Chain A
Amino acid sequence: MRILWNNTASAHVNKVSCCENLWVWRRMIRDDLRLVGMWGSIGGRGRRGRGSKRHTSVCCCCCYCCGGGGVLLLWRWVWVILDWREMTVLTTAARLLAMLRESHNPILKLHALHNLNLIVDQFWTEISANLSQIQRLCEDEQYDHRELAALVTSKVFFHLGGLNESLMYALRAGSLFHVSDNTEYAKTLVAKCVDEYISLAIRGGAATTTESSSSERHDGIVVDPRLVSVVERTLDKCMADGKFKHAIGLALECHRLDKVEQAIIRSKDVPKMLSYCLRLLQTFVRRKEFRHEVLRLLVKNYESLQQPDYLSICQCCMFLDDPQTVASILGKLLRGGDKTDVLVAYQVAFDLFENENRKFLLSVRDRLPETSNSAQQLVSNSVNNAAAAAAPPPPSAHVIIMSGGSEHGATAIEAEMIRTEEEAPKQESHRGKGLAAINRSTYAQRLKKIKGIFSGDTPINLTLQFLCTHNRSNLLVLRSIKQSVESHNSVCHSATIYSNALMHAGTTVDTFLRENLDWLSRATNWAKFSATAGLGVIHRGHLQKAKVVLSPYLPQQGGAGGSGSSFPQGGALYALGLIHANHGEGIRQYLLDSLRNTGNEVIQHGACLGLGLAAIGTGDEEIIEELKAVLYNDSAIAGEAAGISMGLVMVGTPSDKAGEMLTYAHNTQHEKIARGLALGVALMLYGCEEEADPVIDQMTRDPDPVLRYGGMYAMAMAYRGTANNTTIRRLLHFAVSDVNDDVQRTAVLALGFVLCSEPEQTPRIVSLLVESYNPHVRYGAAMAIGISCASSGSNKAISLLDPLMTDKVDFVRQGALLGMSMVLLQTTEAREPQLCRFRKQVEATISNKQEETMTKMGAILAQGILNAGGCNVGIMLRSRTGHDRMNAIVGMAVFSQFWFWYPLIHFLSLTFSTMAFIGLNEDLCMPKFEFVSDAKPAMFRSSPPVATPVVSTASKIKVPAQVLSTSSRVKSQGIPMTKVSKLKAGKTILQEDVCLDLPSNSKRPKICSSLIIEPEQPTAAKEEEAMDRKSQHEVRDHQPTAKDEEEFRVTVREKGAPVTQKTQSLENLTEVLSNPTRIIPAQEKFLRFQEGCRYAPLKLRQGLLGFVMLNDLAPSEPVELVTTDAAIFTTTPPITSSAAGLLAETSESPLAFNHDSHRPLK
């Protein structure tokens, strides 16, 4: 019987499947009995777990009589031994599908479902036709096996490519959907699940992550608990497999704090995980609130470590804006007896200072315990050695103080330091009695020091000291620029002055200005304003002498007296601001008074900018009110500055003032004021990210292009360094679709700010814009690359900028030159061969008479940027720890406004960050010691002096010859190379060679001056004559010169070959550096402290750039400190009054160049 049935069934099956003309067949036999044969089996295998062993299987055949309408059902119970799959190769799932239609027999349905689940991968096409049936099954609340139905449905949807539906049904399948399956289906769906969850978590806003219940509520969006459970299962699996980094990443993306914490705690290397998490947080977590929550979590976990990482904790606290915690941590560290703790505290302070969050720094300082009381006590307690304490530092002291002279802070520190040292032995003797008091006194000193760091006095002083002593800028460069630009071209003239300012930023070297007073006096009106302001850049951070230096120009109290012209006066006030940028408590009142006392709009302009710089980010209400008063005068010049300054003062603190400013921007007739205000609003939105969106929307939708332009800046500022995709998309949209060139240009430029955290992305994103038809967009692209890839020397950036340097349009070339100089800043020729070519190109552009003015100006500025800060600074928009430097970004934003207003070029100095290793001991002094850099010196040496083309031929031969002969002489002295000190001596000689302007060098200045003074004859006629002669000379002598030089080199090489080679091979490998030294970030990893070195850097630090606290391993030995050249601090008398007069009192000639109208032609 059984066999019979099998035969008939298979006969039918064969008939159905083999008939290729199914359609025809169907038509023709419509009246026939249509047979759908099926048979199958239901094993009891599905429920093996329950132990029921049903061997009953069902074999059934259902024959539907279509024509008659009646249903003929034949049931046959047969024992089926074989599994149905083994009997035949299956060609269709129609039989199983037909079984589903069985409304009476749930067993059949279950059987069908069960088998469909097994074969779905092969027959999904067929099943999909009948999907609605299965869907109905899983929606049927009464049906017991709807989970199985859901699973089948999910699989079919997966095959059909409907992942969303598939996921929905997979979730319904509950436990039947195995997360850990190794099938493509499971893997894909789990990935989909996680994606879905992440998108929900992000959309849901504030995630209530601490909630432990499985269902979470995100502001009205209810996340499917099953989805949550799948994600949790995945996370748990990650952790179980030991992939904690994956787990942390996933949990962060899913906004699951609890899981982040769990992953961190369960991992074996907690500190590593914490730092990994912190890094992820900075790069990937976009939402501010969530970032703060994670930061809080991190702080908690850091604190629970055995050795808390205070540096990281304090960084986190800074982001959380929690000065109280930092203050208490620092207080604890300082109070402790352990010297290392104190060093850590100092290090924390320095690191926080580097992030330039002024408001936070000040509030930490104010929260630290007061020193005055304890200082009083200290004095009273140590009456017995009061004499020593009160006396000025004895000249014979072995401590060589940096000769700040009148510097109050430094003196006090030194005095106290000496006092402690003298106290030390006494402390031993009067142990019992004096212990508490002494402790208190040391505590007070420490507090004072740390406050010095927080207020900025100490780091600014140290930086200034470093920049002064290590200045390696080359005046020859400037002289050659000066000679090659036509004197009547005021743009190039002032560009040279700007270039000088940038080149000597923070070095206090104003030699160039001093030497060329006559030439300088050609500056008129606003050029004079910015020339004076340039002094501020040069003396940046020179807090004590600021007013002295600027005294000839500052407006006298009581009106517009003083030196008469208002331009230098305004410039001087601006300069004061530049000197005190981000550190303006001392000068604030003075600037305020100056602003109040004047009605002159130029002076107001300077004072406003100065105030803005000095009070950057403080949100000082009084200043804002004062600025607002200036603004409402509706004077174009003063109003613009007031607008910008309001933004500067309120950087990062959005308030309703933004609306007020925008309203005024609408009302005013002056485009300049509107632009100033727009930029001001943009600055206010700094770092606000999503919070800023309403204001950004308002600005970008404005019909006024000036405000849209501000809107671009607003996006740049609000999303600085976030690489936020939405913002990038919006900016790109504006870059190509706005009707206004300024807006387009700024939109591209803003990309540079948004992407400054991921410089490697920028070239890719702007690569198409670089080829835009619109020169404004090209310019913007060049600047964007410059901004985001600053000081990176990135290859891609260079290759993109390269074609722009020969662009058709002059201002695009300008942008390319500027961008390129920013990118190549602080790279060396050894690492980036392009640098050499670029330098040559810049020089050629400057000296090319046919070159357009705009390009020339760009080249002159580029020269300044390349040699910025005496070759010791780089443009860093992010601090070493990867946080945004607020001042730098703000400075860069205002700098990029120079398109409209040249004096704003000086803002570039805010972005400069000293590239140095400055090691400090417990007393915050620089001890003398040496360490090693395991790299070729050439790799990181700052660029050699440029052989300027204008310098006459004689020097052309001699300059390289001198260097070579000196070096070979030094090297051939047969120095025993083991003695490091001597090698160093040799090196300094080399360096002196390099610095042509060092007065100590005996030979060089003579040659130089004899060569250079010649063209500086006072009368223009003579100068021209000289120039002509020289150029003739040059043309004639050029060829042989080069040849001579080559020959000379060859001979030198041959002569000194054996020795030189030997020394070189030694020098090639390593280089010995002494304490404060120039280091670029790429060099950090080569640095090494030798065995037996007295000092060791704090272990907690990752890098060696910036201020590094040193652990003194031999505290008992006398400390030798680095001597600083006293001359720099003392010999900066103000430029003599007559000279000042030259600069200040020149009559305003009709030729006077009006800055107002120098926008580039279109």
Chain B
Amino acid sequence: MGLDVEMKTAEPAAAPSPLIHLKATIALIEKGVAKKEMRLMARAIRQMLAVRRRLKASTVSSFLNYALPSGSEALSRLLGFVAKVELGDASMEVDTPPSMAQSSQLSYKQSVLPELESFSYLLVIIFLIDQKHLEDAKVCSSAAIKRLQQFNRRTLDVLAARLYFYYSLSYERTNSLADIRGTLLALHRTATLRHDELGQETLLNLLLRNYLHYNLYDQAEKLRSKTLRSDSHSNQQLCRYLYYLGKIRTIQLEYTDAKECLLQAARKAPSSARGFRIQCTKWAAIVRLLLGEIPERTTFMQQGMRKALLPYFELTNAVRIGDLELFRAVADKNASVFYADKTHNLIVRLRHNVIRTGLRNISISYSRISLRDVASKLHLDSATAVADAESIVTKAIRDGGIDASVDHSKGWMQSKETGDIYSTQEPQQAFHSRIAFCLNTHNEAVKALRFPPDAHKKELESAEKRRERQQQELELAKHIAEEDDDEF
């Protein structure tokens, strides 16, 4: 599962120096803690990620020296990691952090906010992952998680959720995800008990990802169904959740649900999260094929995805035509891609659909056709080809794939007239579902609106204004009365 999706909106780096940028986030965090405002925390993280590509070891270490009190355990530990990167691969063996001596000279600052400390951890972990020091990132993130567990502050939630994510990511990159499953479960429990909904959501996703990484679909489904989910707090986490859920549902043969989940995930994902959307599209395409639908050509022609989706496009073509030979050829040609995507087993399931699509083509073309011809057209080359064809046709009829009937005694298949779809309820239902979707989106948008607190209070008119208004009204009334008098 080589899926590395970091859904973040890349902000244009406007600030001249990353260090100044980072220092600005400190103020943001402190303000967020003071006001208990989660949004500010999220903004601080976004700002940090904006300068992520431009981070250098020196920048990070000077930020750490600025943000953390000298002599604190966190500072010395984090500086150690950064120093390792600085020294480069050549001198990896140097373990003693050289900044220890220098930091001890500085005066001891007052104790630091746990939020700020967590933020520093997050920065260092991201930096280490970016610099491909994955083992260090692993150690560092484990230390961060251990430290996090000592606090119970709601203001930490946003940062904690991020830390969990990178914790898991660093383990995934080193291919040791199984080691942290227990920790993640414990963290999830803690988050549930503390009503940390963001953490709950993040950790549930990480756990699902963890299970799916090892193909433990059963476990993942059990965990998912046993945990209570509240309304989602983060769009990113919701997307991920839908994606994992879609995968689970696909494996469970519940294609309709799976399709809905996967399409929604693809739709909800921000446009910058290309990798994630490609994965979603791949799975969605297969699920639609499994459902007997043929995805539109435009699905595969989206900008920046065309190349990645090419094997699936070919596959779709094969299924659309209903040609078993072509299907086999495409599957063999792209086997390596499908294995990498872990979709190979689903492709195997598709064979049946290819047959059915072929059958549908036949049923559209012929109002009546003998089963033998069906077998030959479908390239069914077994000994009991006719019987197989009959069973396939009857199954397709039962599933609603084709509208036909089988005459067993005469050995043919009779297609029914295609009715006028506009005489049925179907268009109405389609419209209904679209309208419902629009209304739902609107309602969610309204719900997500935020108003500054006490803004309405400004509108109260002052005493002078009121008096003025009353005076005016009085005059107006008098005026009207006079006019009335004039009329008589």
Q: Which residues of B are found within 8 Å of A125, using beta-carbon distances? A: 219, 222-223, 226
Complex-state Cα separation, A850 to B467, whole angstroms: 9
Q: Is B251 an interface residue (CB 8 A)?
A: yes
Question: Please, what's the 1-or-0 string for A787-809, where 1 marks a CB less than 8 Å from any CB in chain B?
Answer: 00000000000000001011010
B226 close to A160 (CB less than 8 A): yes
A188 close to B182 (CB less than 8 A): no
Distance between B482 CB and nearest chain A CB, rounded to angstroms: 22
B222: which of A17, A121, A129, A803 is its contact (CB, 8 Å)? A129
Q: Which residues of A are found within 8 Å of B181, using beta-carbon distances? A: 122
Q: Is A22 an interface residue (CB 8 A)?
A: yes
Q: Is B457 an interface residue (CB 8 A)?
A: yes
B215 close to A20 (CB less than 8 A): yes
* Chain B residue nearest to A844 in the complex (CB): B463
A23 close to B251 (CB less than 8 A): yes
Distance between A261 CB and nearest chain B CB, rounded to angstroms: 33
A806 close to B457 (CB less than 8 A): no
- In the complex where A128-B226, A850-B467 touch, is A184 in contact with B251 (Cβ < 8 A)? no
Q: Is B313 an interface residue (CB 8 A)?
A: no
B457 close to A803 (CB less than 8 A): yes
Q: Is B185 an interface residue (CB 8 A)?
A: yes
Q: Which residues of A are found within 8 Å of B190, using beta-carbon distances? A: 184
A184 close to B460 (CB less than 8 A): no
A159 close to B189 (CB less than 8 A): yes
Q: Which residues of B are found within 8 Å of A19, using beta-carbon distances? A: 215
Q: Is B418 an interface residue (CB 8 A)?
A: no
Q: Is A91 an interface residue (CB 8 A)?
A: yes
Distance between A96 CB and nearest chain B CB, rounded to angstroms: 14
- In the complex where A125-B226, A803-B460, A806-B466 touch, is A91 in contact with B216 (Cβ < 8 A)? yes
Q: Which residues of A are found within 8 Å of B349, using beta-carbon distances? A: 24
B186: which of A18, A121, A129 is its contact (CB, 8 Å)? A121
Within 394-430 of A, Cβ neighbours of B (below 8 Å) are at none
Q: Is A21 an interface residue (CB 8 A)?
A: yes
Interface residue total, chain A, C-beta cutoff 8 A: 28
B219 close to A126 (CB less than 8 A): yes
Complex-state Cα separation, A674 to B122, whole angstroms: 70
B216 close to A21 (CB less than 8 A): no
Question: Please, what's the 1-or-0 string for A103-134, where 1 marks a CB less than 8 Å from any CB in chain B?
Answer: 00000000000000000011011101100000
Distance between B472 CB and nearest chain A CB, rounded to angstroms: 14
Within 216-234 of B, Cβ neighbours of A (below 8 Å) are at 216-219, 222-223, 226, 228
Complex-state Cα separation, A18 to B345, whole angstroms: 12
Q: Is A387 an interface residue (CB 8 A)?
A: no
- In the complex where A184-B186, A808-B466 touch, is A22 in contact with B217 (Cβ < 8 A)? yes
Q: Is B480 an interface residue (CB 8 A)?
A: no
Within 154-199 of A, Cβ neighbours of B (below 8 Å) are at 159-161, 184, 188
Q: Which residues of B are found within 8 Å of A121, using beta-carbon distances? A: 182, 185-186, 189
Distance between B131 CB and nearest chain A CB, rounded to angstroms: 29
Complex-state Cα separation, A808 to B467, whole angstroms: 10
Q: Which residues of B are found within 8 Å of A17, using beta-carbon distances? A: 214-216
Q: Is A487 an interface residue (CB 8 A)?
A: no
B345: which of A21, A806, A850 is its contact (CB, 8 Å)? A21
Inter-chain contact total with CB atoms closer than 8 Å? 65
Q: Which residues of A are found within 8 Å of B217, using beta-carbon distances? A: 20, 22
Distance between A867 CB and nearest chain B CB, rounded to angstroms: 24
Q: Is A56 an interface residue (CB 8 A)?
A: no
Complex-state Cα separation, A188 to B466, whole angstroms: 57
Within 5-27 of A, Cβ neighbours of B (below 8 Å) are at 17-24
- In the complex where A23-B251, A23-B253, A24-B253 touch, is A188 in contact with B193 (Cβ < 8 A)? yes
B228 close to A20 (CB less than 8 A): no
B251 close to A21 (CB less than 8 A): yes
A91 close to B214 (CB less than 8 A): yes
Q: Which residues of B are found within 8 Å of A188, using beta-carbon distances? A: 193
* Chain A residue nearest to B342 in the complex (CB): A20
Complex-state Cα separation, A94 to B457, whole angstroms: 61
Q: Is B384 an interface residue (CB 8 A)?
A: no
Within 483-530 of A, Cβ neighbours of B (below 8 Å) are at none
Q: Is B178 an interface residue (CB 8 A)?
A: yes
B222 close to A122 (CB less than 8 A): no
Complex-state Cα separation, A842 to B445, whole angstroms: 47
Q: Is B370 an interface residue (CB 8 A)?
A: no
Distance between B226 CB and nearest chain A CB, rounded to angstroms: 5
Complex-state Cα separation, A18 to B217, whole angstroms: 10
* Chain B residue nearest to A21 in the complex (CB): B345
Q: Is A1064 an interface residue (CB 8 A)?
A: no
Q: Is A1035 an interface residue (CB 8 A)?
A: no
Question: Please, what's the 1-or-0 string for B196-220, where 1 marks a CB less than 8 Å from any CB in chain A?
Answer: 0000000000000000001111110
Q: Is A724 an interface residue (CB 8 A)?
A: no
Question: Please, what's the 1-or-0 string for A55-97, where 1 marks a CB less than 8 Å from any CB in chain B?
Answer: 0000000000000000000000000000000000101100000
Distance between B186 CB and nearest chain A CB, rounded to angstroms: 7
B460 close to A806 (CB less than 8 A): yes
Q: Is B414 an interface residue (CB 8 A)?
A: no
Q: Which residues of A are found within 8 Å of B178, using beta-carbon distances? A: 89, 91
Q: Is B279 an interface residue (CB 8 A)?
A: no
Question: Please, what's the 1-or-0 string for A283-321, where 1 marks a CB less than 8 Å from any CB in chain B?
Answer: 000000000000000000000000000000000000000
Distance between A607 CB and nearest chain B CB, rounded to angstroms: 44
Q: Which residues of B are found within 8 Å of A18, using beta-carbon distances? A: 215
Q: Which residues of A are found within 8 Å of B189, using beta-carbon distances? A: 121, 159, 184
Q: Which residues of B are found within 8 Å of A159, using beta-carbon distances? A: 189, 226
Q: Which residues of A are found within 8 Å of B345, using beta-carbon distances? A: 20-21, 24
Complex-state Cα separation, A23 to B349, whole angstroms: 12
* Chain B residue nearest to A18 in the complex (CB): B215
B466 close to A22 (CB less than 8 A): no
Distance between A185 CB and nearest chain B CB, rounded to angstroms: 8
B251 close to A20 (CB less than 8 A): yes
Complex-state Cα separation, A805 to B466, whole angstroms: 13
Question: Please, what's the 1-or-0 string for B454-466, where 1 marks a CB less than 8 Å from any CB in chain A?
Answer: 0001001011001
* Chain B residue nearest to A128 in the complex (CB): B226
Distance between B396 CB and nearest chain A CB, rounded to angstroms: 19
Complex-state Cα separation, A408 to B193, whole angstroms: 71
Distance between B247 CB and nearest chain A CB, rounded to angstroms: 10
Interface centre among B189, B349, B457 (most CB of A within 10 A): B189
Q: Which residues of A are found within 8 Å of B218, using beta-carbon distances? A: 22, 92
Interface centre among B182, B223, B226, B345 (most CB of A within 10 A): B226
Q: Is B192 an interface residue (CB 8 A)?
A: yes
Q: Is B252 an interface residue (CB 8 A)?
A: yes
Complex-state Cα separation, A544 to B407, whole angstroms: 121
Complex-state Cα separation, A1057 to B217, whole angstroms: 87
Q: Which residues of A are found within 8 Å of B186, using beta-carbon distances? A: 121, 184
Distance between B267 CB and nearest chain A CB, rounded to angstroms: 26
* Chain B residue nearest to A160 in the complex (CB): B226
B192: which of A20, A126, A161, A808 is its contact (CB, 8 Å)? A161
* Chain A residue nearest to B216 in the complex (CB): A91
* Chain B residue nearest to A158 in the complex (CB): B189
A806 close to B182 (CB less than 8 A): no
Distance between A35 CB and nearest chain B CB, rounded to angstroms: 16
- In the complex where A20-B345, A23-B251, A24-B253 touch, is A122 in contact with B182 (Cβ < 8 A)? yes
Complex-state Cα separation, A38 to B248, whole angstroms: 26
Complex-state Cα separation, A24 to B182, whole angstroms: 29
* Chain A residue nearest to B188 in the complex (CB): A159
Interface centre among A17, A21, A92 (most CB of B within 10 A): A21
- In the complex where A121-B182, A808-B466 touch, is A91 in contact with B219 (Cβ < 8 A)? yes
Task: Please name 6 pairs of A and B residues whose Cβ atoms are closer than 8 Å in the assembled complex, sorted by A.
Answer: A20-B342, A121-B182, A121-B189, A125-B219, A126-B219, A184-B193
Counting from the closest, the 7 A-B pairs by CB-CB distance are A125-B222, A806-B463, A20-B215, A125-B223, A125-B226, A122-B182, A21-B345
* Besides A19-B215, A125-B219, A850-B467, 16 new A-B residue pairs in contact (Cβ under 8 A), listed by A number: A17-B214, A17-B215, A20-B215, A20-B217, A21-B345, A22-B217, A23-B251, A122-B185, A126-B222, A159-B226, A184-B186, A184-B190, A188-B193, A803-B457, A805-B463, A806-B463
List the interface of chain A (C-beta within 8 A of B): 17-24, 89, 91-92, 121-122, 124-126, 128-129, 159-161, 184, 188, 803, 805-806, 808, 850
